[in-house]
Structure 1
Amino acid sequence: MKIAIISPGPFSVPPVKGSSVEHDIDEVTKMMDPEHRVTIYTRTCATYPKSTVEENREFIRFPYQGPGPYLRRIIRHIRKHKPDVIMVENRPTYVLALKNRFPKIPVFVNMHSHVFASKGIISKEKMKRVVRLASGFFTNSEYLRRHFIKTCKIPPHKIHAVHLGVDVSPYQVAKIHYSIRKLRKQIGLSPDDRVLFYAGRLMRAKGVHVLLKAFRAVSEQDPLARLVIVGGTGYGSNRLTPYVRELKKLAKPLGDKVKFVNFVPSAKMPLYYQLGDVVATPSVWQEAFCRVNLEAMASGKPVITTPRGGIGEVVAHQSSGFLLPPKAWKTELPVVWNLLWSIPGIRAEMGRQALLRAKQFSWYATAQGYLNVFESALGKRTGEEASQEKQLLRKTG
């Protein structure tokens, strides 16, 4: 099967600055069986040449000067190298131009969140046309699948929930890396510190303010508690936004108990997760999936998170972590923290359960989920074409 995958465009594949959609494209296509030829369309950048071939994957890169010019270049290339199936990543609007040029090629949309199908991005009428023209949709959680069935009226048979994966190997190898002690010292952590760790963008939807307010109560009851916050305002950005200023103001009374670390590239994150004894993801919005939870669990860390969106499909409450509603964090986080440190062996056992849970989410399983749907669509199309040919033969015979 010849598969074309179209990345959104603003970031490169493989990602240089840690962008999540592009990370997913890179990881899942590595796991597609060698019999399939995969062409990944992405943007040019200083790190990579305009085109590269890695085993059964070919990267074709075009300048990104907005979605229109970027997509037009991709369409010209597809016209010469027609694939069997096209997958659009997180940009449903691209479907309209693609189906206009290639009406017979199945086009799928992989939705990573609700954002690019929302009214502020695409009109209701255009989204209706996308739903009609697309051969199918993918989501990274059952929660997001149900969301689109309800809000966009996508027929249930046309949208498939396929969880993202994680490779646990680099996270487990990082546990014995020689530089962990050096990194702890660099950040200002002592050997006795008990570390609550956050990784992600510094934006209100991620609930970092909720975490800081709750951690204040934790620090009052545990003088050894420390909070490490790793991340910037965006992928590769460390801008001092009004929200970041608000976070720094909340952290100021806690002094050196809170450590802010700027954006860290995804390749280095397995090492940084080792700084934490427990990982917190205090999301206040409806997270579609929240990969940080999966990465933390791959590191063997218990997770304290919220039951928002699809998070509960990944984190098992009181097994691999705790699901606390955002409004309950201020009162419940100190209770959970005390539990984790007062009962011998509980953190180790929850970390073990977290790792076992993470191993259930593989990139190979994600790839197979996509391929099964592609093959079904192509089989159906072949059957329809054969039926049409028979009908034509009867008419002409």
Structure 2
Amino acid sequence: MKIAMIATEKLPVPPIRGGATQIYLDATAAIMARKHDVTVLSIRDRDLPDVEKNKNGVSYRRFSQETYIQEVANHLRTETYDVIHVCNRPRWIRHIREASPDSALVLSIHNEMFRDDKISYAEGVDCINAVKQIVTVSDYIKMTICDRFPQAIGKVATVYSGVDVETFQPKWTAQGEKIYAAIRRELGLEGRKVVLFVGRLSKVKGAHLLLEALPSIIKKHPEAVIVFVGSKWFGDNEVNSYVRYLYTLGAMYENNAMFIQFVKPEQIPQLYTMADLFVCPSQWQEPLARVHYEAMAAGLPIITSNRGGNPEVIENGKNGYIVKDFSNPEAYAALINKLFDEPSSSIQMGKYGRQKVEREFNWEVVAAKLLRAYGEERG
């Protein structure tokens, strides 16, 4: 098959600036390219050429961010593809169908893109009629489409995202043990109990709840430290009012809170390895944050909020805990203390999560499911 994968207009592919959908497209494209002709379309970036073919056999074409969809459509008028995979932009389907009327269209949805404030009912129906398949990153996102558009039910399927399990090393492996010691030494965290948060520093991500939980954590575990990895936006270390609030609150516990601003995607796995547990305190209806896959791959037990699709990858008590009282800092503190109190149980949960991600959420599994959505026969 000749396949085009169309990224959004936000960030480039490969994901040199981060971005969950960019990681998803780049990883699955590399696997598909073993058997198929794959081209990824994305926006230009100063550090990437406009046209290239990488060592995995994936071709890339990059266009201006300002006129992106128009340039993509122009490309599709001159290049024929069997399948066009459109990422997270249902309103683009009309333009793409007009530009490439004979291609099979597959739409992957990573956010609530079928809400009434995102797309009109008429546009939604037209989109659903035009595509062959819609794949969603969680059952929660699937529900948001089918509740409003029942006619989509037969076309929508959940295909969970994935992670490169080789990139993440749990601390109990030989390589992980070395990383664990080196990063902790570099950060001055030797002998500490480390809680990790990775994500944008925005109120909906709930970082403030972990800082508000600190007094109850420190009371039982004075050696505990929460490490926050992230900034207000991908690659942007500008400080806004919320980030300033976090820094001010964190300064009250300077020995127990650490902030690491945006780091390159390739540096993230080591930070997971050096942690003891991972917390995702999201307050919004998260589609399903990819940090869950990364934490499992690193062998960390997970504490996550009961919001959106996040609980779908957690088997409560086996690879982590789901916080139903998700806006209460003390609910997070209680579970963090529980995991710190039971280190052997914490390790077992981390190992179960690692096995789960190897089995269910590696990129080979994700790519195979996408190819079936494209029309490739099983086997």
Match of 1:294 in 2: 293
Q: Does 1:121 align with 2:118?
A: yes
What is the number of equivalent residue pairs in this alignment? 372
C-alpha separation between the residues in 1 aligned to 2:281 and 2:308? 12
Per-residue CA shift, 1:145-188, capped at 9, x if unaligned? 11210024452111111011111111117863656545334433
Per-residue CA shift, 1:318-360, capped at 9, x if unaligned? 0111111244643333332332233351122111111111112
**Which residue identity lines up with residue 28 of structure 2 in the other structure?**
V
Match of 2:95 in 1: 97
Match of 2:10 in 1: 10
**Which residue identity lines up with residue 161 of structure 2 in the other structure?**
L
Q: Does 1:270 align with 2:285?
A: no
Indicate conservation of the 8 Å contact 1:202/1:244, yes or no: yes
- TM norm structure 1: 0.88
Question: What percentage of residue pairs aligned between the two structures are identical?
Answer: 27
**Which residue identity lines up with residue 48 of structure 2 in the other structure?**
Y
Bigger helix fraction: 1
Indicate conservation of the 8 Å contact 1:8/1:89, yes or no: yes
Indicate conservation of the 8 Å contact 1:18/1:266, yes or no: yes
Indicate conservation of the 8 Å contact 1:109/1:137, yes or no: yes
Match of 1:149 in 2: 146
Following superposition, the deviation at residue 254 of structure 1 comes to: 1.7
Indicate conservation of the 8 Å contact 1:217/1:330, yes or no: no
Match of 1:80 in 2: 78
C-alpha separation between the residues in 1 aligned to 2:75 and 2:333? 56
C-alpha separation between the residues in 2 aligned to 1:207 and 1:173? 26
Following superposition, the deviation at residue 250 of structure 1 comes to: 2.6
C-alpha separation between the residues in 2 aligned to 1:327 and 1:370? 33
Match of 2:109 in 1: 111
Following superposition, the deviation at residue 2 of structure 1 comes to: 0.8
C-alpha separation between the residues in 2 aligned to 1:172 and 1:187? 18
C-alpha separation between the residues in 2 aligned to 1:241 and 1:125? 38
Indicate conservation of the 8 Å contact 1:36/1:56, yes or no: no
C-alpha separation between the residues in 2 aligned to 1:206 and 1:336? 18
Per-residue CA shift, 1:73-104, capped at 9, x if unaligned? 22222222210111111111110111123333
Indicate conservation of the 8 Å contact 1:294/1:358, yes or no: yes
C-alpha separation between the residues in 1 aligned to 2:342 and 2:65? 54
Q: Which moved further from structure 2: 285-294 or 150-159?
A: 150-159
Question: SS of the counterpart of 1:286?
Answer: coil
Q: Does 1:305 align with 2:304?
A: yes
Following superposition, the deviation at residue 376 of structure 1 comes to: 6.7
C-alpha separation between the residues in 2 aligned to 1:335 and 1:15? 36
Following superposition, the deviation at residue 133 of structure 1 comes to: 2.1
Indicate conservation of the 8 Å contact 1:282/1:326, yes or no: no
Per-residue CA shift, 1:179-204, capped at 9, x if unaligned? 65453344332x22111110011111
C-alpha separation between the residues in 1 aligned to 2:337 and 2:201? 26
Q: Does 1:367 align with 2:367?
A: yes
Match of 1:348 in 2: 347
Match of 1:317 in 2: 316
Match of 2:159 in 1: 162
C-alpha separation between the residues in 2 aligned to 1:205 and 1:276? 23
Q: Specify the structure having the higher radius of gyration (Cα).
A: 1
Q: Structure 2: which 5+ runs fail to align?
A: none
Q: Does 1:206 align with 2:216?
A: no
Per-residue CA shift, 1:33-55, capped at 9, x if unaligned? 52311111112212222211234
Map 1:33-48 onto structure 2 (within 5 A).
34-48=34-48
Alpha carbons of 1:154 and 1:7: their partners in 2 closer, same or farther (altered >3 Å)? farther
C-alpha separation between the residues in 2 aligned to 1:61 and 1:97? 18
**Which residue identity lines up with residue 47 of structure 1 in the other structure?**
D
**Which residue identity lines up with residue 125 of structure 2 in the other structure?**
K
Question: SS of the counterpart of 2:169?
Answer: helix
Question: SS of the counterpart of 1:246?
Answer: helix
C-alpha separation between the residues in 2 aligned to 1:106 and 1:347? 46
Indicate conservation of the 8 Å contact 2:12/2:43, yes or no: yes
- TM norm structure 2: 0.92
Following superposition, the deviation at residue 296 of structure 1 comes to: 0.7
**Which residue identity lines up with residue 141 of structure 1 in the other structure?**
S
**Which residue identity lines up with residue 112 of structure 1 in the other structure?**
H
Indicate conservation of the 8 Å contact 1:218/1:333, yes or no: no
Match of 2:235 in 1: 236
Q: Does 1:63 align with 2:60?
A: no
Following superposition, the deviation at residue 281 of structure 1 comes to: 0.6
Indicate conservation of the 8 Å contact 1:110/1:137, yes or no: yes
Indicate conservation of the 8 Å contact 2:170/2:298, yes or no: no
Q: Which moved further from structure 2: 214-223 or 180-189?
A: 180-189
Alpha carbons of 1:63 and 1:327: their partners in 2 closer, same or farther (altered >3 Å)? closer
C-alpha separation between the residues in 2 aligned to 1:17 and 1:344? 35
C-alpha separation between the residues in 2 aligned to 1:162 and 1:367? 9
Q: Structure 1: which 5+ runs fail to align?
A: 378-397
Runs of 4+ in 1 over 6 A off after TM superposition: none
